[in-house]
Structure 1
Amino acid sequence: MKKSSIISEKISITDGRRIHIETVFLAKQSDGSVVVKMGNTMILATVVASKETIKKNPGFLLLTVDYKEKYYATGKIPGVFFKREGRTTYREILITRIVDRVLRPFFPKKLHAEIQIMISLLSYDNSVFPDGLAGLAASSALAVSDIPFNGPISEVSIVRWNKKFIIHPNIEEILKYEIDLIVGASKEALIMIEGEMKEISEKEILSAIAFAQEVIKDQVNAQIRLAYKLEKFRTKRFYEVQDKELDEKIHKITYDKTYKASKYSYDKKQLIEKYRKIFNEVKLHFTEKMWKEKESLAHYYYEEIKRKVIRTLVLSENHRIDGRSSKEIRPIQCWVDYLPSVHGSAIFSRGETQSLTTVTLGSSGDANRIDNALEKEKFYIHYNFPPFSTGDVRTIRGISRREIGHGNLAQRALKNVIPSGNPYTIRMVSEIFESNGSSSMATICAGTLALMDAGIPIKLPVSGISIGLIIEHGKEVILYDILGEEDHIGDMDLKVAGTAKGITACQMDIKIEEGISFKILEKALKQAYEGRIYILNEMLKTLSLPRKSIKPHAPKISVLEIPKEFIGSVIGTGGKIIQEIQDETNTVISIEEKGKIGFVEIVGKHQDKISKAVQRIKAISFVPKRKGIYDAKVKSIKKFGAFVEIIPGKEYLLNISEINWERLDKVEDVLKIGDQIQVKLMGIDDSNGKIRISRKVLLPKGRK
């Protein structure tokens, strides 16, 4: 196919850059494919749907999204043994989740077909980060296909730096952020937000979202124009499995019983058991053969009945399935120092959600190397969600996408309260021992307490809350601290984490394609603030401030800087000197060169031995500063002056003429071995590097 036959559209960004969308050139056997280009960054997105309707309703949309970054996109060869792309990286999983969450609400509810969307980064030049373009590419592929989709939608990456908004930033601009967000929306509706902030107000977040949504409108219009140029866009496939008679029958058998169970069963396990018994009674109304044919669809219809019942209870009676009203937060319990052998630990329980979070302190060698790149994280969180936390039996097949996503959200919420001078690598692990909603927010709360228990002087404590929404026929109810079932049947899941000063991270998913208004979002953010401040105050009743010191069994670390030219002297020939210091002080020493500075990290269990190692290294790398004043000890006396020690191992000649203003015949008339004096560095002889020091310049004339 000639390149001239490519069908394309362009989108202009406010700063003059352009995005190009092209189709009908690559991957033509897929149901829809596009290439999105911005600068030299190029993303290919393809979509394929099964041709047949799935007869057995799975109860959820069978959508699979995969985002992959090819090594060749940046001119690299994989550094693994097999020299090809291997397992999906954390970053790829996080972008996949963002795209999935904004697309899912826009597929028809009764679409019973498998859909696979594959997004590949083909070229990347650092001029624009690809995260925000992946959603645009996926939606464009759907827009030019014949697969039912109620879009288009789009996503944009937006940062604020120095009070200025930047759309689709590069990596350098992202690193300067005050606000770093990805926003997903349709032309009319806000659907998804995710990002981190440096203690930003709710008003500032709303202004960033509003700015992003205006940009999204242009991207949606471009997709509509592109789709109208293709014939297959005009005729969409039809997938639907309906059985109106079965729906009505199940409603008649189960609705009243489900309503009663939902209103009077405040325990999760008890309610699940009641739902199970109610559904099992449906089976008695069918022959074995008929039930085999209808069971899958019956499950789907009963889930819809539960959804309707729970929503009706909230909207009409302000009654939730655990007995709370919309604004109540579940009982909170906190413990710290729960595990005696770890460096920091805390338990945070809120209702039937519980996180045990630990903090382990390590050296720079324990930093997390991100996806085999040069970048390292000195603070990172691992979130574990075992099946027993929800009372389930499930085969464990490695780390789930959920675990990676929830851990990342908690990490973004807490990382900016870690002090910049912190010498430790901090690994935090959240074990979810019980889950009924908001386990990522429980991780943030437990994480804050664990950091304070470990003696990390965090800037301010952080708490988090999940806010839900049920909206129907113009009536809306915002829910504090949502349950797992309320997340499933509700219209919004808004997670907000922050300090008393401002928001540090947020994540929002809207489950309905009509989205929500800015008025509702503003109201939800206000209530999220009230909720997280309440939770924060409850947390601080257990531990109000970081401990003054780390635990006795935690490693101690000292970091010092030395001039680059002394690195070799500290290491010694074949590592002799550094090994000697380590053996004498029972420490581990590492040196990293950055520019003209050598950063020396000394790790040990005993502070006195670390101090001894520090003194040894300072002695080797000591360079007196011109006009610097130093305490000195007289080590030996000669006819022409005295040799004084400024730091252990470093002796300098104090000439007899620089001891006193008056002429001396003998050094011993003023000084003796062991005397403590002060000297000033007067200069360095450029020809031989010898240092000139003086005592007399620090004395008034005429005083000995």
Structure 2
Amino acid sequence: MTPSPISASYTLADGREISIETGRMARQADGAVVVRMGDCMILATVVASKEPKPGQSFFPLTVDYQEKFASAGRIPGSFFKREARLNDYEILTSRLIDRALRPLFPDDYLCEVQVLVSLISSDKEVMPDAMACLAASAALAVSDVPIMEVISEVRVGRINGEFVVNPSRTQLDSADMNIIVAATETNIMMVEGEAKECDEASLLKAIQIGHDAIKQQVKLQLDLRAKLGLTTKREYIKPYTNPELEAKITEFGKEKVYNVAKAAMGKHERGDAFKAIRKEYEATFTEETALPAADAALVGRYFHDLEKDVIRKMMIEERVRLDGRKLDEVRPLTMETDVLPSPHGSSLFTRGETQSLTTVTLGTTDDELLSETAATSDYVKFILHYNFPPFSTGEVKMMRGQSRREVGHGNLAMRSLKQMMPADYPYTVRVVSDILESNGSSSMATVCAGSLALMDAGVPLPKHVSGVAMGLVAEGGKFAVLTDILGDEDHLGDMDFKVTGTRDGICGIQMDIKCDGLSMEVMMQALEQANRGRLHILDAMYKSIAEKREELKPQAPRIEQLTIDREFIGAIIGPGGKVIQEMQRETGAKINIEEVGQEGIIKIFSANKESIDKAKNWIKSIVAIPEIGETYEGTVKSVVAFGAFVEFMPGKQGLLHISEVSWKRLDTLDGVLKEGDKIKIKLVGTDPKTGKLRLSRKVLMDKPEGYVEPAPREDRGDRGDRGGDRGPRREGGPRGDRNDRPRGDRPQGGDRGPRRENNDNNNENNNQPTPEVAPAPQDNGNDDDMKL
């Protein structure tokens, strides 16, 4: 008989409900749950092997978060129409879960564990990444896989000065602080997020609010576990140990390791010295006294443990670091800008043995990055890529695309620098950081190098952003907070705490805790010490380049942005794109148009300023409104019997009647005007019926002396133009109702006398051939282009 699903739920302060259910889906996994809030549903499963692989020396945890496009009623846009490799957003969410879960497993647990988290139903207003870790932890809680504690994660946003737990997607758009906190019931485990220059006290308050919410979610998981009746975790095979061998290695190498640690050597020199101690110990064995294979495999691990123990005690008790620095001292800084001739901006930032070569490239709207999740599809115009080649650490490794670490470090640097990017900057900006040397804190070197390169490229950052990585060593109730940690200090320490910001506040934060917990007192000290380190680095950055370059590099493309009324977008594009294509062909500029609300945003892109100016003037002339009384230079487009049509602005034509060409009476324009002539005209009005524009050339000429206005013309030969100033047409038939036409004085009512027959004049007129009427101009229906 299939067991019934079991669930537990609780309600947030704003009335939203979060529920966890198990026993209905994925029942063959070691643990499986569905977490739900609104229409957002996340399925999390966990499976662990019963035994470790032979020779396994590390904990093989795999965490993958994936969003099913069907969850939002969408079909993937790839060629195969199926979900492919994880995108950056899914990788970043996977890392959030992994970094929070990994410290919860016992140190001697080496069985392979796979945690899979899938978004199976999407809600446009619910951010699934904040609930993914709750689902993963709940799946472990309802399984017998050994974990030491239950955890959860929440997002905390500050909207209009108020802190909100797990804000909606709409609320988050207006937040000035956005952080994710992971914790157990008693200890903070991980923090990551961004802010618009918040202070340290506000950050700590947000962390505390997040921890309070996490406690409720931990209780929810424990309630669900209690309903299942689970009280124990599975037994597992622990790795082989030899305490006697460990004691011998400690006795042999403790003093030697201490002397190397205290010598303030460089990274590779120190590593070689530690290896020499191990080789010296291994040389004490002969073929007869060689260690068994199982013990020989432990030698490297015990020497590593010895190095860790000696270095940590040295830092805590003697306040001495591996490279001889004080606890709050930043390594020597060297920074340069404009180091590469071709990129649009570049910098070389070196801090100790960590170095970043960073470039900035400026692009158009067409270069924006499409970022898709199941629920969203957005274009991103600020991009940062972080590359960590193996030579940066003196290693040989296969290069198989970007690692999750590279994606995570790049995202932290991007979120930090993005806080200072102007919202209306027209360029698409790509920052690339290539790590050339690495000995700790390369992501923070990327932030500093990126800020310098952006300034070098002329990007209008209002302030520099720098970053520093903090470390912590805690033991026996004592602790030491380290500024600008080395790679070894990160590896051997209890905390990696990265903080970025300006002189006025924090822009980004990433913290991972490896110990049992971190008190608010220690965290506050770490933040204050990080502030001093950040300001020290900023002082050096401002000396290198204090503000953005006034001019873009000669090789950098130029973009100018215009804002127009939305109604003009069609006129600029033209039928079938004819107008905008002609503009791009004639000017050599690239033109992008975007409709935003009631406005059109036009971006003109070219490496040639003259080309941009030409396109800009062309667009301005299209959107300009002709003003009656203004003088223009126009081009004769066509000549007809009754005048000429003149284009005096792009897309704007008017009629220059034959009577307005000259003060002299003209019967024809032959020899006076021809198609293509450039003439100056004045806009004198509009036709009251059609709205078409009326032009005059003669008003710009001196009136001849003694000029007398000609009498109205007797002949009607020019009536076919329908464009002269004839006054409003009478209603009725083509010539009006004959009964309404004036016939002079005639009796009103009564006998009006016999109707007159055609007189001689009438007969004469009737015998005349019908005058030839000139055809109306063919304006292709573009009447709107001729209206004011």
Work out the CA distance in 2 between the residues paired with 1:646 and 1:534: 61
Q: Aligned pair count?
A: 668
Select which of 398, 403, 414 maps to 1:400.
403
Work out the CA distance in 1 between the residues paired with 2:10 and 2:585: 64
In the alignment, is the contact (CA less than 8 A) between 1:199 and 1:503 conserved in 2?
Answer: yes
Q: Which residue does the alignment assign to 2:417?
A: 414
- 1:297-328 residue CA offsets vs partner (Å, 9 max, x unmatched): 33222221111111011011111111111011
Q: Which residue does the alignment assign to 2:774?
A: none
Per the alignment, do residues 232 and 597 of structure 1 end up closer, same or farther by CA in structure 2, a change over 3 Å counting? same
Unpaired stretches in structure 1, ≥5 consecutive residues: 637-642, 656-664, 667-672, 694-704
Alignment of 1:165-314 (within 5 A): 165-241=163-239, 242-286=241-285, 290=291, 292-314=293-315
In the alignment, is the contact (CA less than 8 A) between 2:155 and 2:166 conserved in 1?
Answer: yes
Per the alignment, do residues 480 and 229 of structure 1 end up closer, same or farther by CA in structure 2, a change over 3 Å counting? same
Q: Which residue does the alignment assign to 2:33?
A: 34
Q: Which residue does the alignment assign to 1:576?
A: 578
Select which of 507, 532, 535 maps to 1:533.
535
Work out the CA distance in 2 between the residues paired with 1:283 and 1:630: 100
Work out the CA distance in 1 between the residues paired with 2:464 and 2:581: 41
Q: Which residue does the alignment assign to 2:477?
A: 474
Greater mean alpha carbon deviation, residues 161-170 or residues 131-140: 161-170
Work out the CA distance in 1 between the residues paired with 2:268 and 2:681: 76
Q: Which residue does the alignment assign to 1:585?
A: 587
In the alignment, is the contact (CA less than 8 A) between 2:45 and 2:136 conserved in 1?
Answer: yes
Per the alignment, do residues 615 and 223 of structure 1 end up closer, same or farther by CA in structure 2, a change over 3 Å counting? same
Q: TM-score, normalised by structure 1?
A: 0.89
Q: Which residue does the alignment assign to 2:62?
A: 64
Q: Which residue does the alignment assign to 1:701?
A: none
Greater mean alpha carbon deviation, residues 582-591 or residues 90-99: 582-591
- SS of 1:319's partner is coil
Per the alignment, do residues 685 and 300 of structure 1 end up closer, same or farther by CA in structure 2, a change over 3 Å counting? farther
In the alignment, is the contact (CA less than 8 A) between 1:199 and 1:501 conserved in 2?
Answer: yes
User: Which structure exhibits the higher relative contact order, with contacts defined as CA atoms closer than 8 Å and separated by 6 or more residues?
Assistant: 1
Work out the CA distance in 1 between the residues paired with 2:105 and 2:687: 79
In the alignment, is the contact (CA less than 8 A) between 2:41 and 2:122 conserved in 1?
Answer: yes
- 1:341-390 residue CA offsets vs partner (Å, 9 max, x unmatched): 11000011100000011000000001111148631111110000000101
Work out the CA distance in 2 between the residues paired with 1:130 and 1:616: 48
Per the alignment, do residues 191 and 620 of structure 1 end up closer, same or farther by CA in structure 2, a change over 3 Å counting? same
Q: Which residue does the alignment assign to 1:43?
A: 42
Are residue 458 (structure 1) and residue 457 (structure 2) matched?
A: no
Alignment of 1:675-686 (within 5 A): none
In the alignment, is the contact (CA less than 8 A) between 1:556 and 1:605 conserved in 2?
Answer: yes
Q: Which residue does the alignment assign to 2:321?
A: 320
Per the alignment, do residues 50 and 555 of structure 1 end up closer, same or farther by CA in structure 2, a change over 3 Å counting? same
Per-residue deviation at 1:575? Answer: 3.5
Work out the CA distance in 1 between the residues paired with 2:611 and 2:74: 44
Per the alignment, do residues 141 and 634 of structure 1 end up closer, same or farther by CA in structure 2, a change over 3 Å counting? closer
Work out the CA distance in 1 between the residues paired with 2:124 and 2:612: 42
Q: Which residue does the alignment assign to 1:379?
A: 382
Per the alignment, do residues 294 and 287 of structure 1 end up closer, same or farther by CA in structure 2, a change over 3 Å counting? farther
- 1:19-51 residue CA offsets vs partner (Å, 9 max, x unmatched): 111112222222211111111111111111111
Work out the CA distance in 1 between the residues paired with 2:122 and 2:209: 26
Per-residue deviation at 1:568? Answer: 3.8
Work out the CA distance in 2 between the residues paired with 1:195 and 1:148: 30
Per the alignment, do residues 689 and 599 of structure 1 end up closer, same or farther by CA in structure 2, a change over 3 Å counting? farther
Q: Which amino acid aligns with 2:339?
A: Y
Are residue 111 (structure 1) and residue 109 (structure 2) matched?
A: yes
Greater mean alpha carbon deviation, residues 184-193 or residues 140-149: 140-149
In the alignment, is the contact (CA less than 8 A) between 2:265 and 2:323 conserved in 1?
Answer: yes
Per-residue deviation at 1:480? Answer: 0.5
Per-residue deviation at 1:596? Answer: 4.5
CA-atom RMSD, angstroms? 3.0
Q: Which residue does the alignment assign to 2:729?
A: none
- 1:656-703 residue CA offsets vs partner (Å, 9 max, x unmatched): xxxxxxxxx99xxxxxx99999x9x99x9996456899xxxxxxxxxx
Q: Which amino acid aligns with 2:588?
A: N
Q: Which amino acid aligns with 2:299?
A: A
Q: Which amino acid aligns with 2:86?
A: T
Work out the CA distance in 1 between the residues paired with 2:293 and 2:528: 49
Q: Which amino acid aligns with 1:479?
A: L
In the alignment, is the contact (CA less than 8 A) between 2:103 and 2:514 conserved in 1?
Answer: yes
Work out the CA distance in 1 between the residues paired with 2:192 and 2:186: 19
Q: TM-score, normalised by structure 2?
A: 0.80
Work out the CA distance in 1 between the residues paired with 2:687 and 2:405: 65
Q: Which residue does the alignment assign to 1:517?
A: 519
Work out the CA distance in 2 between the residues paired with 1:405 and 1:692: 65
Per-residue deviation at 1:421? Answer: 2.0
Per-residue deviation at 1:597? Answer: 3.7
Work out the CA distance in 1 between the residues paired with 2:585 and 2:680: 32
- SS of 1:19's partner is strand
CA radius of gyration, larger in: 2
Greater mean alpha carbon deviation, residues 17-26 or residues 443-452: 17-26
Unpaired stretches in structure 2, ≥5 consecutive residues: 636-644, 658-662, 665-677, 696-788
Alignment of 1:489-638 (within 5 A): 489-512=492-515, 514-623=516-625, 632-633=631-632
- SS of 2:228's partner is coil
Q: Which amino acid aligns with 2:295?
A: K
Work out the CA distance in 2 between the residues paired with 1:274 and 1:676: 90
Work out the CA distance in 1 between the residues paired with 2:327 and 2:274: 23
- SS of 2:550's partner is coil
Q: Which amino acid aligns with 1:423?
A: P
Per-residue deviation at 1:586? Answer: 1.6
Work out the CA distance in 1 between the residues paired with 2:455 and 2:194: 21
- 1:623-682 residue CA offsets vs partner (Å, 9 max, x unmatched): 46xxx999754779xxxxxx9999677577999xxxxxxxxx99xxxxxx99999x9x99
